Structure 1
């Protein structure tokens, strides 16, 4: 092999990447340090967006002693932490700002469309501009309506009303309670059947 072979001429030597980075990067801003400042560190409060340039060792040392609230009173720090919970946006307790919710343009501010708010059902009266919802009347099926009629009740009767009426009619028409009169057995049978229908329907 020749000392000056043509193959040696084709070999490309890669430049030292570290030396190249050192030449193109500004020096570390730590006093007395000549290493490249490859890492950023925040300058401090009220100077957001500004950074020091430090080398790796010095940026670690700087970050250990960095305090964003340096020189700020404890009361201001506590207030900042409390406001940070809501993203520094104003808030108020439920019902404390009722004047704002009753203003005419509240619906438009809230939904962006007052027409939509007017069409929207406020079932529980949250917006305060509608009367509280009235209890919806119960609609009975034909068998349930007939059972209510047998007991002498209407659709507005509650479960307690049905039970009380049932006990009253059973006592009145039961042979043991009316001196053995068997003439009202059919009526008792109808009462028992009616109560069974209402109980299966969950009305009592």
Structure 2
């Protein structure tokens, strides 16, 4: 007995006409003179985003080789587009008193520039956005205030003032220059400790 029969060769399967009719047909390729189905999309171009041509595989490759989104656009406009693309084409402005909008829209620039800036309409009790606001005096911590007092300085002293005062006191109370004065040696240690505290705090 054989598993192969000559009658198998005569069997024919009837094609499913309904399935063929229901299958969607691709539109014809939009390339001039081409009758192939347009199975591939290609963008139409600038200012027509969301619109596409339908090409066959061969012609979509040909189209993409010569496609230029910025065709006919001046270099200055291309550079502006690239700059705005860094922020998703959203307007930005500097965080200071002159809030000039970094945008290409003149209307937006007028609305957001100068005294009409958005942040100028906010409450600003701490003068964060006011570039002409006077610098606030740093309030010294108790340990820092005591160290400044040891050096004979006030909280308004700058880093240069602290260094100059430190050098002066070190020369005056150094063991090689105090003549064996015990009180001067104690004062020398206090000066060293005070300067170390101020340096650790970043004041000098």
TM norm structure 1 = 0.58
What is the count of residue pairs matched by the alignment? Answer: 173
Distance 1:13 1:67, change over 3 A: same
Q: By how many angstroms is 1:14 displaced?
A: 7.2
Name 2:100's counterpart in structure 1: 97
* Alpha-carbon distance in 1 for matches of 2:76, 2:143: 62
Partners of 2:40 and 2:54 within 8 A in 1: yes
Cα RMSD after superposing both structures: 4.5
Greater radius of gyration (CA): 1
TM norm structure 2 = 0.58
Name 1:179's counterpart in structure 2: none
Mapping of 1:132-171 within 5 angstroms? 132-141=134-143, 145=146, 148-149=149-150, 153-156=152-155, 158-170=162-174
Deviations 1:49-74 (A, max 9, x none): 3332211112112222333444x2xx
Structure 1 counterpart SS, 2:115:
coil
Partners of 1:29 and 1:52 within 8 A in 2: yes
Structure 1 counterpart SS, 2:27:
coil
* Alpha-carbon distance in 1 for matches of 2:66, 2:185: 90
| Residue ranges of structure 1 left out of the alignment (5+ in a row) | 176-181
**Counterpart check, 1:27 vs 2:34:** no
Q: By how many angstroms is 1:96 displaced?
A: 8.2
* Alpha-carbon distance in 2 for matches of 1:140, 1:3: 107
For residue 197 of structure 1, the aligned residue among 193, 196, 199 is: 193
Name 2:84's counterpart in structure 1: 86
For residue 186 of structure 1, the aligned residue among 160, 179, 182 is: 182
* Alpha-carbon distance in 2 for matches of 1:188, 1:23: 101
| Residue ranges of structure 2 left out of the alignment (5+ in a row) | 102-109
* Alpha-carbon distance in 1 for matches of 2:138, 2:164: 19
* Alpha-carbon distance in 2 for matches of 1:164, 1:79: 61
